[in-house]
Structures are given as C-alpha cells and as structure tokens.
Amino acid sequence: MIQKLISISDQQMSDFLSQHRLPPEFRRIAEQFYLPLARRLPPMLGGRRQLFLGINGAQGTGKSTLADFLRLAAESMFDWNVAVLSIDDFYFTLAERKRLAGKVHPLLTTRGVPGTHDTDMLAHYLERLQRLGDSERIAVPRFDKAVDDRADEARWPIVQGPIELVILEGWCVGTVAQSNTELQRPVNALERDEDPDGIWRQYVNDRLKAKYEPIFAQLDALIFIGAPNFDAILRWRLEQEEKLAVTSPANSSGLMNKEQITRFIQFYERLTRENLATLPNRADSVFRLDDTHTITL
C-alpha cells in the first residue's frame, strides 16, 4: 500500500471532534499518542493480508473513540478498508439471555459479562471479514443498548473488502480466565448477595476460557487503555449514560439511572480489576489515564 498522507487533515480532525462530541484538548491527545500508533499499523501488518487489532478498556475510557480514530487514520493515510467491531454488538438478544438465565443463573439476563455474547456469531463474522474479496460487501451486527437488544439488520453498517484492518474493541477483549481459587471470594455486594454459591461467576469464567480466549488468541496486537482506578470507571460510566440519553428516543427502556448503573458495573468489577492489574504487562501498547481522562503515558 502507498501512504498518501503522513497525517490526517485539520478538517478531518475537526469533523472527528464534532462527530464524537470531543473537547478541543483531544486534538493534542490524538497528535501525541493516537497518530503515532496509527503510523505503526503498516509495519504491524507486514506481509499479511489482514491485521487483527484488539482494544481493551473499561467503561468510559474511550476505546470506541480510539477505534474510530484508527479507522479514520488507516482509511485516510493508507487507503485501507477497515472494519470496527465492538464485542458489545455481539450480545445475545434479550430473549436469548432470558432463556440462558432460566437455565443457568438469573444474573445472566444482564448483558456484559462473558457468557452473554454470541461468540459463535463473532467468530463467524471474523472469518467472513478475513475472506472478504474485492468489492464484496457485508453488513456487520450492531446492538442497540437503548432498548437492550440487537438492532434491526437494516441499521447494520456495511463494510467492503478486502479488509486490511479489523479492530475488535471491548471491555473484556484480551481478558483471560481466573483460577478457581480466585473465584471463591466475592468482590462486591452483587456477588455476595446474588451469587452466594458462585454459580454465575463460575459460568462466566468457564465461558471466558472456552469461547473467548480462542478468539483473543488470534489478535495480532492488543491495546490497553487503563483507568486510574475502579471509582473513576463508575464516574465515567455515569457520564457515558448521560450522553446516551441525549441521543436516544424518549422513554428508551435500556437507559439507566445512577443507582442502576452503580449496580450494573458490579457485574464487570471482578474482571475489570483483573485487567487493571494484569493487562499492562500483557498488552502491546498501553495508554494510562488519570482522573481527568488525560493520557499520562
């Protein structure tokens, strides 16, 4: 591939900030951290047909923003076709999660943890994207969090082959299962009161090892965006929900208030804390955030 530009244009940057409702300070972050990462993509691709990149970050860390920025940069600078997938878009439907909750544990109604995604569907689309030929087009799934269910297929975005870069972003991308000993002690009130026998967290851990780790093992590189602590993640998740409320139809059933969000992130707490402790040593690139969402490394 011939590199057309060494950077994206000022207009493209301005449009990106506007589209994602980002503050002007993001321009500095992008130029200092994200553009240098984007310029490393061609060497990472090497002689391969496709680069498979993972982005891990807790709720509100900006992983989807980074994924979209890398897409813009790769399309503009290298003439690449890029497919961005969020693991959130592969949640089981609400009906499927309710059936799963009836068979295994009531907590599995709530989307988020390993075991609530259709990993077979994700693996299928990753394979299709790898084989996508010249000018061949497919629609990739989207999940509508405002209604807590899979979006209608008419709303799925279209990508065209061949795909040089696939980005998979999500809070559990690259996460590995814990030991059975680590599962025994509850990490919060949700686990203590609603999963006293550990059935839910054992199922989550087992599915992570059996169905998710084989997909993550295919990643060519993993980027980790690390929050300063779990308290910051709660605050950012509240901010994220406020933004979602602005863009969602009135009375959207999937939106949550502060109390609901506080309980909701307890579903993620165990593995999020594990990621904060272990992923900085396993990821290929690490961006550490401070309390103000500023990258410090």
pTM of the model: 0.91
SS3 128: helix
Distance of alpha carbon 151 from alpha carbon 172, whole angstroms: 21
Per-residue pLDDT tens listing for the chain (297 residues): 444 447 899 999 999 999 998 999 899 999 999 999 999 999 999 999 999 999 999 988 999 999 999 999 999 999 999 999 999 999 999 999 999 999 999 999 999 999 999 999 999 999 999 999 999 999 999 999 889 999 999 999 999 999 999 999 999 999 999 999 999 999 999 999 999 999 999 999 999 999 999 999 999 999 999 999 998 988 888 877 777 666 666 555 557 788 888 898 999 999 999 999 999 999 999 999 998 888 986
The count of other CB atoms within 10 Å of the CB of residue 244 is 15
Query: Which domains, ranges and CATH numbers included, belong to the chain?
Result: 10-288 (3.40.50.300)
CB environment 195-229: b (16+ within 10 A), e (fewer): beebebbbbbbebbeebbeebbeebbbbbbbbbee
Distance CA 222, CA 113 (A): 19
Q: In angstroms, rounded to a whole number, what is the distance separating the alpha carbons of residues 279 and 135?
A: 37
> Which amino acid, residue 239?
E
